[in-house]
Structures are given as C-alpha cells and as structure tokens.
A and B are shown apart, each in its own frame.
Chain A
C-alpha cells in the first residue's frame, strides 16, 4: 500500500546540535516534497520545498535532501535552538490527481 512515514518517536536533542528528521515513502513517484513546522494548536507553516531533480536545498539553518532512489527525504536543523521545538511534517504530491499526502509528523524537543 502507499504510505509516507516519519519518525514516530519524539526526538530530543541538546541545544546547538544538529537535528535530523526522516521522511520515507513507498509506491510514490512524487514530483516534489515539502516540509512544514507545526506548533500546538496552530496550523502548519511552510519551510522548504524540494523537487525530484534537486538533491539538496538550504534555507538559513535548514537543509533538506531528497533521494528518489531510496525514496527518502532528510530534514536537518543545524545549531538547533529551543525555539525549534515543534512538530515537523513532510508532504508529497502523489497519484494521478496530485493530491498532497502528509506524514504524521515528528515531534522535536530542543533542550537548553
């Protein structure tokens, strides 16, 4: 069956370290993949979009990689800060009608 998976367990890291979150998918050939941040009680906020022909994308302390062979995207936050604590969601377009499919998200806690 088609599915998209993110680390189900919460990720706890120390301030200043690099956080790495994983998004794996099966049976899709997405044209692109997006990452969002969601805080409790709020809607997701767009962070980065990476296309199938791009290996890597950066924005300030954020970096996303996209490996269509492994069917995996990695999301990195370098020099993490407590303010980075949130749930991070990945989404990809899938199917003939190109609907966005979402992972369940990974909760990140950055400890001071």
Chain B
C-alpha cells in the first residue's frame, strides 16, 4: 500500500508569490491534515479536511487555504508569500477524523521563501 505522497519535495519562491502544495493520502483514508513545521515552533496545525469539507482550522492567516477533492487528494495554497512562511509543510492522512486516530505523514514539502 502506497504511503502519503507530497509534491513537490522542495520549492523555492520569492516574497509575494503564491504556492500550491499537493498531498495524496493513503488509499481509503478520508481525512487529510496539514501542518507547518519550523525549528522554533514545532508542528503547527493548519487545517483538516474530511470528505471534501474543512473540519478544523488552526490559527493561521487567510493567506493559507486548502481544499480536498472527491478522491481525497488535497491541496494547500499560500498566497502573498512572506519570509516567515519558510518551513517544512507536512500533510497527514487517517481513515477517520484525525483527532481520533493515528496519523500517517508524508515526507513533506520544504518551502524556502527568499
């Protein structure tokens, strides 16, 4: 069974640009959660999607958005990039809602904003 796949693996952008990250969950998993990880802040929850609906949201500005498709694949978009958005972005999938189950993470997208 294939694991969680995130693309691209690395990304370099400049301030003001926008970026779209992609996540394909494990087959049969309906929940996808997104996290931002930085050395100082650790894993910070962005949002969770379940059956195409945003179920939960973290404390991030509206520049961060996401969506989930009918095949459970998810995308995350960050508009008007800032230097502070440089981080490892991780997505995680689970069969049901994330807070009741163990999470399966992808390898992440390392975003660098110059």
Q: Using CB atoms and an 8 Å cutoff, list the residues of chain A in contact with chain B.
A: 34, 36, 41-46, 49, 89, 91, 93, 97-105
Q: Which residues of A contact B108 (CB under 8 A)?
A: 41-43
Q: Can you report 26 A-B residue pairs in the complex whose CB atoms are below 8 A from each other?
A: A34-B103, A36-B103, A41-B107, A43-B92, A43-B105, A43-B106, A43-B108, A44-B43, A44-B103, A45-B105, A46-B103, A89-B42, A91-B43, A93-B99, A97-B56, A98-B100, A99-B56, A100-B33, A100-B98, A100-B99, A102-B42, A102-B44, A102-B45, A103-B42, A104-B42, A105-B42
* B70 → A minimal CB distance (Å): 24
User: Which of A34, A89, A99, A101 interacts with B102 by CB under 8 Å?
Assistant: A34
Closest Cβ of chain A to B13, distance in Å, is: 19
* Distance A15 CA – B103 CA, assembled complex (angstroms): 29
Interchain residue pairs A-B with the least CB separation, the first 4: A43-B105, A98-B99, A102-B43, A46-B102
B90 interface contact, C-beta 8 A: yes
Greatest chain B CB density within 10 A among A36, A42, A99, A103 is at A99
* A49-B42 in contact (CB<8A): no
Q: Is the interface of A mostly helix, strand, loop or mixed?
A: strand
Cβ distance A103 to chain B, nearest Cβ, rounded Å: 7
CB distance from A65 to the nearest CB of B (A): 18
Contacts of B107 in A (CB 8 A): 41-43
List B contacts of A41 (CB < 8 A): 107-108, 110
Residues in B whose Cβ lies below 8 Å from that of A89: 42-43
State in angstroms the CA–CA spacing of A44 and B33 once bound together.
13
Known: A97-B56, A100-B99. A44 touches B105 (CB 8 A): yes
Closest A residue to B90 by CB, please name it.
Answer: A43
Chain A nearest CB from B3 CB (Å) reads 9
Q: With the chains together, A44 CA to B42 CA distance in Å?
A: 12
